[in-house]
Chains A and B, each alone.
Chain A
Amino acid sequence: GDSVTQTEGLVTLTEGLPVMLNCTYQTIYSNPFLFWYVHYLNESPRLLLKSSTDNKRTEHQGFHATLHKSSSSFHLQKSSAQLSDSALYYCALSVNVGDNSKLIWGLGTSLVVNP
């Protein structure tokens, strides 16, 4: 079935180092839509970025991700981590199934950025 895998439950970094949060997916449908949502403590989860275009880099708030259908990946990256990036990050996959749509969530990766 359709699934999303976020291999790291917890990523701990020192401020200034690059961030890479892994996301891979499985689906039988040919036009997946991939999302990254971010959940800061005591706030609402919100969309960080999304993409359905193969090999096109999508950027928002210093983060970027590129959907690679060949490897079924949508890794989230940032060149330099900031303390304020500490949050829970969810990767999600959406596919159209007939007239409906399915949204499948990864388990989330908690990013902790230390001084």
Chain B
Amino acid sequence: EAAVTQSPRSKVAVTGGKVTLSCHQTNNHDYMYWYRQDTGHGLRLIHYSYVADSTEKGDIPDGYKASRPSQENFSLILELASLSQTAVYFCASSGDWGSQNTLYFGAGTRLSVL
């Protein structure tokens, strides 16, 4: 069974503070993704990566950075957290970027920025 683990599961941050969300996968997948989920907006892609030490911008990268230090780990970094970044964040992995490939999601991180 594919496994994607996110930490922390929830976090409260202060406006202007730095937040790091971590993701670890044991699927041996090359591709990893960070999405945010907001009511009325569905799932939106923030950053993704297809190889260690390289990341790519998704559809809404502003205000976020990503880091892929190894195949297994992919972090999302909010250098200066803002109220608008309150959301649920999901990490996912897939074996390929091909159109038929299934995404395997983590359980999500609920971030509240106050």
Query: In the complex, what's the smallest C-beta–C-beta distance from B95 to chain A, in angstroms?
Result: 12
Q: Are A44 and B4 in contact (CB under 8 A)?
A: yes
Q: Are A50 and B42 in contact (CB under 8 A)?
A: no
Interface of B is mostly: loop
Q: Are A90 and B42 in contact (CB under 8 A)?
A: yes
Alpha-carbon separation in the docked complex, A32 to B104 (Å): 20
Q: Are B99 and A94 in contact (CB under 8 A)?
A: yes
Q: Is B89 an interface residue (CB 8 A)?
A: no
Q: Is A33 an interface residue (CB 8 A)?
A: yes
Interface string of B75-110 (1 = CB under 8 A from A): 000000000000000100000011111111111100
Alpha-carbon separation in the docked complex, A106 to B37 (Å): 12
The tally of residues in A whose CB lies under 8 Å from a CB in B reads 25
Given known A44-B106, A44-B107, A47-B103, contact A105–B98 (CB-CB < 8 A) = no
Which A residues from 79 to 105 make CB contacts under 8 A with B? 90, 94-96, 100-101, 103, 105
Residues of B within 8 A of A57 (CB): none
Residues of B within 8 A of A108 (CB): 42-43
Which B residues from 35 to 60 make CB contacts under 8 A with A? 40-45
Interface of A is mostly: strand
Alpha-carbon separation in the docked complex, A108 to B73 (Å): 28
Interface string of A27-39 (1 = CB under 8 A from B): 0000111010100
What are the nearest 8 A-B pairs in CB distance? Answer: A94-B99, A107-B42, A44-B105, A33-B99, A45-B105, A105-B43, A101-B99, A108-B42
A-side interface residues toward B, CB under 8 Å? 9, 31-33, 35, 37, 42-47, 50, 52, 90, 94-96, 100-101, 103, 105-108
